[in-house]
Amino acid sequence: MTQQKPSLPFIFYLKYGRVIFPVSVFLTIILFNLLPQFLSPTIQLVILGVVIFLLGLPHGALDPWIAQRLGLYDSTKQKIVFITGYLALTALVVLFWLWLPVLSLFIFLMISAWHFSGDWNTSINRPLRLCAGTLLLLMPIGFHTDTVSTIFQALSGINGAKLTTTFSLPPWLLAVVMTLIAAAAAMKRQWQTSLDFLSLLGLAYFTPPLIYFTLYFCLLHSPRHLFGIFKSATIAEHLSLMRMMITFTLVSLMLIGGLWWLWSAIPPSTLILKLIFISLAAVTVPHMLLIYAAHIKK
């Protein structure tokens, strides 16, 4: 009997995943320093939207498989109930954002810091990684306060823009703390983690916030989550996982298309920002709860 080979994306990330992010960061920093006006804000928005929808959304598209592994369902009827509840929760997040946009943005930032800290849950202790996850969001605010204020205003109105004042810390303090965390990781011989933190620091300082978030979310956070799932699955399951990822990503895009139609009167730049970040918030909440349940079970 011939042994089935792992899927190509799995093999590719296994071989090159550790260098894709830092190399991309290095090249992006060089590009933006040589050509500061290389990408207009509009082009940055388009790139963010396309890359997030194609490479970012799939990282939550395998949640039904995770739920099945957790024992949340074991029949077709239970699976339908789970997916219906999952979609209902995403809809509630969108409605809550429309009702209380500033509070929603604040909560989204808080849970994102906690969720993103999980990228290093096997390499450094909880206090350090929580600090790193928080800095991951605070650095672009401190380094590019005016730009982030404009983004927050588009997402949650004028009061949302005021959150930048709440979260803005001195750039030197952000740089020093992140460098110290990177040094602490290096002292524990966690070289990859240390390189991640230094790469994020350089990326946050030298590039616009939207480019920073795009590279982090699509080249570090999402691939590591997907790699962890493929690694825990059997080789025979890889093809079905890829099919599930494509299917639920397409469903997410259809739902986003509905929001696009609903908010068609909003100016294009504001509309794209709302679609990206409110959609991410809507899928992050149920996704984060599921990942937390998985950690509890472990």
Tokens 């994020």: give the residue: 200
Q: What is the pLDDT of residue 50?
A: 79
Q: What is the pLDDT of residue 1?
A: 41
% helix / strand / coil in the chain, to the nearest 5? 85, 0, 15
Q: How far is CA 119 from CA 9, 197, 212, 214, 234, in A?
A: 19, 11, 16, 16, 22
Which residues have C-beta within 8 Å of that of residue 73, sequence separation ≥ 6?
67, 79, 81, 82
Q: Answer for the pair 63, 86: CB distance below 8 angstroms, yes or no.
A: yes
**What are residue 189's phi and psi, to 5 degrees?**
65, 30
Q: What is the pLDDT of residue 66?
A: 85
Q: What is the pLDDT of residue 164?
A: 93
Q: What is the pLDDT of residue 10?
A: 60
Domain boundaries, the chain: 106-223, 240-298
Q: Answer for the pair 174, 138: CB distance below 8 angstroms, yes or no.
A: yes
Q: What is the pLDDT of residue 230?
A: 80
Q: What is the pLDDT of residue 133?
A: 94
What are the pLDDT tens digits along the chain (298 aa)? 444 555 566 666 656 677 889 999 999 999 888 877 767 777 777 787 777 777 777 777 788 888 888 888 888 888 888 888 888 998 899 899 989 999 999 999 999 999 899 899 888 999 999 999 999 999 999 999 999 999 999 999 999 999 998 899 999 999 999 999 999 999 999 999 999 999 999 999 999 998 999 899 988 988 888 888 888 788 778 788 888 888 877 877 787 787 788 777 788 888 888 888 888 888 888 888 887 777 776 6
**CA-to-CA distance for 139 and 143, rounded, in angstroms?**
6
Q: Answer for the pair 275, 50: CB distance below 8 angstroms, yes or no.
A: no
Q: What is the pLDDT of residue 135?
A: 96
Q: Which of 246, 247, 229 is nearest to 238 (CA)?
A: 229
Q: Which of 183, 170, 106 is nearest to 139 (CA)?
A: 170
- Structure-token pair, residue 185: 């990781």
Q: What is the pLDDT of residue 2?
A: 45
* 3-state SS class at 272: helix
* 3-state SS class at 44: helix
pTM: 0.86
